[in-house]
Structure 1
Amino acid sequence: MPHEERTIVELGYPGEYLSRLGYTETKTCKIRLSRKGQGVLARMYASRGYSMQATLAHDFDLSSLVVQIDGQPAGTISVRLDDGHLAAEEQFPEFIGDLRGRGARICEIGKLAMDPGVRSKQVLGAIFHIAFIVAFRARRATDIVIEVNPRHAAFYMRMLRFDPVGSARMCQRVGAPAVLLHMEGAKGRRLIDEFGGRPDLSAQERSFYPYFFHPDDEEGLLRRLSAGS
C-alpha cells in the first residue's frame, strides 16, 4: 500500500543516562504520518486495561501520527474530520450538535497514547503542533474536540489550554469515564503565534506552546503532510 508511512519531522531525543565519556546519549525521534497508527494505539490502550474497540472503528486513518524513538513506536495520536459521525457525539451529542448547528467544521483528536518514558516537552510539543496543523490547516477545521479520562483533563487544560465542556460521562467504547474538551481555531492560532518556537518563554507560558514549532515552519510541515496524499 503506497505511502503507508512517511516522516514529517526528525528530532534529537535525549537519552536517560550518561555515556562513559560523560556525554548525554542522544536518540533519534521521528514523527511519522502512518496508516498503522491505530494499531499502535490499540496495543497501548490494551496495556492500560481499556477496550481495544475504541481504536478499531476507522481502520487506516490517514491522519494518524506515530512517534518513533530509535525506530521503536513510542506513541501515537490521530486526527479525524467530522464526516457526520464523531466518537465524541456518542457521549456528548448536544455539544457536537450545537457546533454543527453553528456551521463549525470539527476535527476530533484521538486520545494521546504515549510511552510513560517519553517526557520530552519538545517531542510532545511537536506531535501536538503537527496534529493541530492537520486539523486547522490541512482539514481547515474551525474547532477541535477531544475526549479524555477525567484524571487527564487537567493535563490537557494546563498544557494545551483546552476548555472543558460539561461533566464526566461514561464512555462505553473504552469502559471508562470521559470528559469532553474543546478548542476554537482562533485560540489555538493565537497561542501558536505568540509562543511557538520560543522555549525561552517557557517560564512565562507553562504549557507545550513554547515547544511548538515556530509559525514560520508550518508551511514546510504542511507540505510534508500533503506530499503524496
Structure 2
Amino acid sequence: MRKHFFIFIFCSLIFVRGIPGFAESVLPFTFQLPQDPWAFPEKGVQLTEKAKAFRFELKTREKVNGVTWIETYQDIQARLPLSLEAFLTVYLDFEGQVGFMPRLAKIQVLERSPSEYRVRHRYEVKILGYVYPSEYEMYYRIESFPAENKVCIRWSFVNSDGTLGGAEGGWFLQEIEGPGGKELLVRNLNIGLVRKDFPLQEQIMSLVGAGELEGIVRALYKEALRRGLR
C-alpha cells in the first residue's frame, strides 16, 4: 500500500497544472461535518489504540474554471492509552511535527495565540532524487469543555499552492478513565477538496487513503510514547 501511495503522489505531481502563488478558496462547495461529532463510538463498537477509518469516501465534483476537484470525507477513530494533556502536548508542538509526521518537511506557525494558530505546512515526496512539494495554510482553533474532559481542535483551509481547494474538520478528544488509568477517545473528521490531475486518481486514493490517515494517529501516539507522555 505504501508503494502505491508514492506512485499516486508521483503521478499527481507529474501531471500537476501549476497555479502560481497561494490561492484563497473561492470554490462554490460547502463543507458540513456530522451534526454531532461527539457521538462516537457507535453502540457496540469497541475502539482500540489501532486507529480505524470508519468512513473514507471520495466523490468527483464538477469542474470550476477548468479544474476538477475530488471531495474527500474521512472519519478516523481510536482509543489511546494517553491523557488529553499528552495528546495536546504532542499535536500542538507544530514545529516538532517535522520529526515524526510522514513526509512533513517544514512547518511554520504564522500566527499564534493561546487558542488560535495559523500554520503553513510543506510536504515533500522524494522519489529517485527528485523532490515534489505541496504547501498549504490552515487556521486552527482550540475549543475546551473542561466539565466534560473534552477538547476540540478545529481547522479550516486558508490557502494553498493550488493542490488543495478547501478543507474543514477537527480532532474531537475526550478523556475517560480506563482500567489502567486515563485514556483518550479520539476522532478525526475532515472534508476537503483535492485537485484531480490524472485519470484513475480517485481509484488510487481509495486504495491508500484510509491507511495513510490511520497512520497520522499512529504517528502521534508513537511520538507521545517516545517523549514518555501518558
Higher strand share: 2
Higher helix share: 1
Taking structure 1 as the reference length, the TM-score comes to 0.26
Taking structure 2 as the reference length, the TM-score comes to 0.26
Higher relative contact order (CA 8 A, sep 6+): 2
